[in-house]
Amino acid sequence: MRDQSPKTDARHLLRRWVVDYFNRHDAAACADFIAPDYALRIGDTVFAGRDTEWLPAVDQQMQAFPGLAMTVHHVVSGDGWAAAYFSEHGASKGRAACWSGIGIYFSDGAVLTFCVAQEDYMTRARQLKAGKSDPVEAPAVAPWDDTAAPANPEAERIVRAWLCTGWPLDTDAIRVDDEHITGNPLKFTTQEVEIDCLLSSGDEVVFHAVQTGQYESGLPKVETPAPAHLHVNGILKVQDGKVVSGRVIRDRMALRAVLQEASS
């Protein structure tokens, strides 16, 4: 039965998403806190419809990783939204992997209605191929207990400008994909940025953007520079007029697929 309270905090709904649904693999629980027309956007793909598209897509992943679990490392929230930096981890056919993601979830005050997410499937593929899993980062101590802070337009402005720069970064405190593990950065020159959502809570800013520009190097089996676009999700901290730390996940797997298809 849907929650009939006047308004339910998005962070509370996200907690139910993680605890009641995902980590229990309990699709039936979703009816209580996820709208029937819920949609997930991940890269250029949209799964529209809770029961018709989204749940079947997640079920495929859960069948491939029967013990799949999610560890939440950080949560930020505001009015009508909550964002999480998390890791998914499990074993498929005897080989284990851990991969990170960032999801931004929206609610109507009663149920979750939409999510835009990125998961680092390229690092998952690397681990499965090697037969060795990366370690799971430490969980947040109390991810569901913090409260939302007021929006910060100045922090949002700084992140909008930051997104116009290219990759790789020169700030170690901003971790991007698995580059801190592999030491192999993606080189991408950004020419234009389309920001689909950008939200702030105090000095933290969450976003989903599509950067258009020039791929230079850094992807396995893609050696030729070419025009491309790159989906990017992030949670960043702004202090003293600049971005000082955070986590970014990009859709490198889709980028590689598009570039390989274009060169074939």
pLDDT-derived band at 104, boundaries 50, 70, 90: very high
pLDDT at 149 over 50: yes
Cα dihedral 21, 22, 27, 31, rounded to 10, equals 40
pLDDT-derived band at 2, boundaries 50, 70, 90: very low
pLDDT at 4 over 70: no
Give all strands of the β-sheet with 242-250 in edge-to-edge order: 174-176, 242-250, 226-239, 204-217, 187-201
Chain CA centroid to CA 40, Å? 11
Give the pLDDT of residue 263. Answer: 81
Give the pLDDT of residue 7. Answer: 66
| Complete domains list, the chain, with CATH | 10-130 (3.10.450.50), 153-263 (3.10.450.50)
pLDDT at 84 over 80: yes
Phi, psi torsion values for 260, nearest 5 degrees: -65, -40
pLDDT-derived band at 45, boundaries 50, 70, 90: very high
Beta carbons within 10 angstroms of residue 142's beta carbon: 8
pLDDT at 3 over 60: no
* Mean pLDDT rounded to a whole number for the chain: 95
Residue percentage of the chain with pLDDT more than 90: 94
Give the pLDDT of residue 1. Answer: 33
pLDDT-derived band at 8, boundaries 50, 70, 90: confident
CA separation for the pair 203, 245 (Å, rounded): 11
184-200 pLDDT, tens digit per residue, is 999 999 999 999 999 99
Residues in the chain: 264
8 Å CB contact between 140 and 120: no
34 or 1, greater pLDDT: 34
Over residues 252-259, the mean pLDDT reads 96
pLDDT-derived band at 5, boundaries 50, 70, 90: very low
Give the pLDDT of residue 29. Answer: 97
* Non-local CB neighbours of 132 within 8 Å, separated by 6+ positions: none
